Amino acid sequence: MKPLIVPFFIAHQGCPHRCVFCDQVKISGAAEDIPTPAGMLARIAAYRDSGGGRSLEAAFFGGTFTSLPKYLQERLLGPLQPLLETGEIASVRVSTRPDAVDSRTVEFLGEMGVRTVELGIQSLDDAVLARAGRGHTARDGENACRLLADAGFRVGAQLMPGLPGDTPEAALATLRRTLALRPDFLRIYPTLVLAGTELEAMYQGGDYTPLPLREAVALCKVMLLDALRASVPVVRIGLQATDELRAGAAVVAGPWHPAFRQLVEGELFFDLISLLTAGSPPERPVTLFCAPPRLSDLVGQRRENLIRLSRERWIEVAAIRADPRLSPLELRVSAEHFERSGSLLDLNYSGGH
């Protein structure tokens, strides 16, 4: 069973740059404060009491943890040391920038019980990184991944397709270079224009055009499929729907949707249904079978997949059934005169997204 994450937000703390896209407070829904030791211990105790016996992992999100002054890093990690020794928490994770990782940092984090480091790589295209104001290079991202992996850390990589100067081809090249580094997991955050950022000024001035929602979904389905083929889990696609993001005013433009991942997963299953029903007689009812957790992805948001199948392919779905024998990647199509099975891994987007 996966550890239960106990989150602590240090929005923008320690970060030496204000990237054009960034507003960590709106993204995380948290104020720019450093958690107090008492507050941290109280939150851990609350999670322990309600966690049903699951192991706990303390996690520091937002900001650049390893660019914080050393005394602040020690103030945050120090109170956790007794809990690590007793097993009350199993491990610690932090988020940081690639250029804030060196051998001394790696040694310190290891000594303080950190086992997972999430890197804000965003892109491995130097021109894109420069336009975003990241302040580091693609080589910094690759070097940080290797340094952490060689020291035995679990490494997560955060990618942001759709930054200024980015293209779908460049975003896919970034993904494939990142997968070659063998990260333990990925997060994919299509770029949004948040109110009050430099990116908003670029957008309002006509110097930046965000990805439309449908194009972002089309790109991310290819990225997700590539990660599936590489056996690298994608733990999140699209920003978490905080209250501020749901309210609407925080997002000025860009491919925002509170269930963005389901749109992406739904597109993959639509493409797989289309592949498996190719050449079948039109207007013949079919029954679809998938793993139980995949029913909503198969149907699509607001039954969009079923509507599109009828409208675009003249395929009527008589029923959808859960089949626990199928893996989360598999689908079976059954009709009067044929039955076919396949996997999302059978899809081929080599010609683009």
pLDDT of residue 2: 86
Residues 229 and 332 in one domain: no
User: Is residue 248 pLDDT above 80, yes or no?
Assistant: no
Q: What is the average per-residue pLDDT within 72-101?
A: 96
Q: What is the average per-residue pLDDT within 158-175?
A: 98
Proportion of the chain above pLDDT 70, given as a percent: 94
Residues 147 and 252 in one domain: yes
pLDDT in tens, 294-353: 999 999 999 999 999 999 988 899 999 999 999 999 999 999 888 999 999 999 997 544
User: Is residue 243 pLDDT above 80, yes or no?
Assistant: no
**Where does a domain end: 232, 258, 284?**
258
In the structure, what pLDDT confidence band is assigned to residue 24 with cuts at 50, 70 and 90?
A: low
Q: SS3 breakdown of the chain: % helix, strand, coil, rounded to 5?
A: 45, 20, 40
Residues 78 and 104 in one domain: yes
In the structure, what pLDDT confidence band is assigned to residue 280 with cuts at 50, 70 and 90?
A: confident
Residues 174 and 198 in one domain: yes
Beta bridge partners of 96: 119
Residues 8 and 139 in one domain: yes
pLDDT of residue 30: 47
pLDDT of residue 172: 98
pLDDT in tens, 198-233: 999 999 999 999 999 999 999 999 999 999 999 999
- Domain containing 311: what range? 264-346
Average pLDDT of the chain? 92
**CATH of residue 153:** 3.20.20.70
Q: What is the average per-residue pLDDT within 2-11?
A: 90
pLDDT of residue 12: 64
**Where does a domain end: 223, 258, 293?**
258
User: Is residue 242 pLDDT above 80, yes or no?
Assistant: no
pLDDT of residue 254: 96
Residues 243 and 287 in one domain: no
Residues 101 and 205 in one domain: yes
Q: What is the rounded distance in angstroms from the CA atom of residue 221 to the CA atom of residue 316?
A: 24
pLDDT of residue 249: 79
Burial class from Cβ neighbours inside 10 Å (0-12, 13-18, 19+) for residue 346 reads middle
Residues 54 and 198 in one domain: yes
